[in-house]
Amino acid sequence: MDLNTKQRKVLFSEDIVSPSSIAVITEDQIAVDPSKGLIFWTDQNKETIERASMDGNDRMTIANSIGPSCIALDIFDERVYWADYDTKTIASVDYNGNDWRNILHYRTHIKMIDSLAIFEEKLYWIDWHQGGVFVINKFNVTEVRKLISGVNVNTVRVYHSAVQPEFPNKCDQHSCGDGAICLPKGNSSMGLPYSCVCADGYTTGKEPNTCVLRI
C-alpha cells in the first residue's frame, strides 16, 4: 500500500494455500528486508518458507518446513530464522535457501513458539505454552535462558537503531505516474531499482509508467 495515496496492490493471489501471515493476520509470519528489496513469508499448508522481491517478482521457495510458525531476519548476515511448531525446532537458511542450520531442537524449551526476534548474536522468542520469553546465543546454543516468566503476550520485538538502520529508499527518485505505485525490486534484478505497478482497480495507461482506472 502507498501510505500517501492509500492505493494498494495485491502481489500474490495464486499458489497460496494458507499463508500464516494472511490467515492469522499477524506480523510474525512475514518479514521484509528493505535494504535488499525482499519479502519473506511462511505457508503452513504448503510447509514452505518463501521469498520474493518487494514488487512481487522472483518468487521462490527457500526452505521446506513441516509447521513454520514465525520468522525473523538477520539483515546483516542475510539469514532467515524460523520456528517449526511440529518438529519443535528453530532453523535457519541464507536468503537463497542454502546453508541450512538447525539452531535448536529441544522439546524442553520449545513447546509453541509464537514470535522470534534477532539482535546481534542473540535470538529471542516467546513460548505461549510456557508463558515466557527465552533467549539463546545463535552461535552457542548450549544454554537457553528464560528472561521473563508468567507473561501473556504474543509478540517479541527489539527496538534499537541497529536493528534496521537507514538505507537508501529505492523509490526516492521514481518516475511512476498517476495510478501507479512504486515498489522496490530485489537487489538481483536488472535495470531500475524499482517497478511501477498499477494499483488495484487500475490498468496500464498509454504513457510509460502510468495507469488509468479500469472500466
- Residue 200, pLDDT score: 92
- Residue 25, pLDDT score: 40
Domain that holds residue 114: 20-149
- Residue 24, pLDDT score: 43
pTM comes to 0.86
Number of domains, the chain? 1
Q: Name the H helices within the chain.
A: 20-23
Q: Which residue stretches of the chain have pLDDT < 50?
A: 20-25
| Cell numbers for 78 | 542475510
- Residue 164, pLDDT score: 78
Amino acid, single-letter form, for residue 19: P
Domain with 127 in it: what CATH number? 2.120.10.30
State the Cα torsion 151-21-77-147 to the nearest 10°: 0
193 located within any domain = no
190 located within any domain = no
83 located within any domain = yes
129 located within any domain = yes
CA distance 188 to 200: 26
131 located within any domain = yes
